[in-house]
Chains A and B, each alone.
Chain A
């Protein structure tokens, strides 16, 4: 029940090696591992302006905090945060408040872009107006806004809070659905796009589990409130895959790391096989079809 490194009470048993760590040694382990990921996978160059996609949740808050810590040590690394307000009553306002407080305290510029400014409607209004899958349109609009706004902010990198659980689930789902194209967008850095309009995406928490991030954010006292999106489906493939992977992980510790590390070693999905990038006929944004998904949805809701 005590830390492997000292005599303090343990707060975690690490999933990779069953090592027990106390609060201070866990924080040290966590930060070292994230900074190692950044260095090892060359997520950053010497000079960068990083825009962090901030949702107000534990993952993006931890990402922002750690990149801020890095930027304090290195004046050539600058930072701003970008929050997408989908317009979901009872869900987003609370996380916007948390994000504003956090950025104010750390003196990080926070920019907010909304579905309303993109389409003229909040997500709540869109879903009342048209029968559209909430997560599908939300994902498309959010990704489009993040890239466009990050570019306006002269970002050289767009950082997201994706974690080991997210990646293991995506790898598993893409295998089941034979989605090779989407697999190419996974990994700690999306470097398979050569189009300058596409801001390279980095995932500093790529090797951290959701549980580790929750513990880290609680121990650091981040202002994160658990709020569930009212549109979050309980019955979808990602939930099933999440439960399957966590069941395997419980019986066979190391399952998630194994899935992700095997994926990274498979060069079918790396830079040697770049995704073809075209231009959307409507908005001129990077796109792999004639018209991008964002423009398709905008037409649907008009």
Chain B
């Protein structure tokens, strides 16, 4: 109820952000979109616009983080894919693009359908499968096993794809470096050895966390600890 009543106000804020962007005031535009996100709202369009404004304001890390968030909500949106790809061209560390091309390609391919839609497809396939079995049991249908096999296949493929997409995009916690440069250390503290330097826009998988540090798995298969203040979690 609270949600519905404030929707009009949120839309106004959103349009205001668009207006600021049109005027070329990208920093204010980014702040405007961020304020909506900070209120607890999210949508693919909101994250996308925030990403655009951050990009134009020169905050590459925040831009990539927001495009990625948008991509999670709308994996089949071409604009989001294009802008994420484009923004990543500006990242200093180019490792993201080079790792496991096949896996990325499968994720891109399966990601055309959102997990919610996979869920729906699976549900419909299960209803049809058991509905068909029930009708056959009762004797209304005298068909063979081909529809059963097809529907069962649909269920298996759809469930597997759903798990893949979820695993790649949702269950995995991801972080993006937003500081210009940050040290990737061998342990959660300044006293540990420097592994390498990560730059703004570098994405990594969050494996673990301590009070001030994330343990990241980077695309070059290196693991390292990054200060939380230099990172946003997607």
A binds B: no
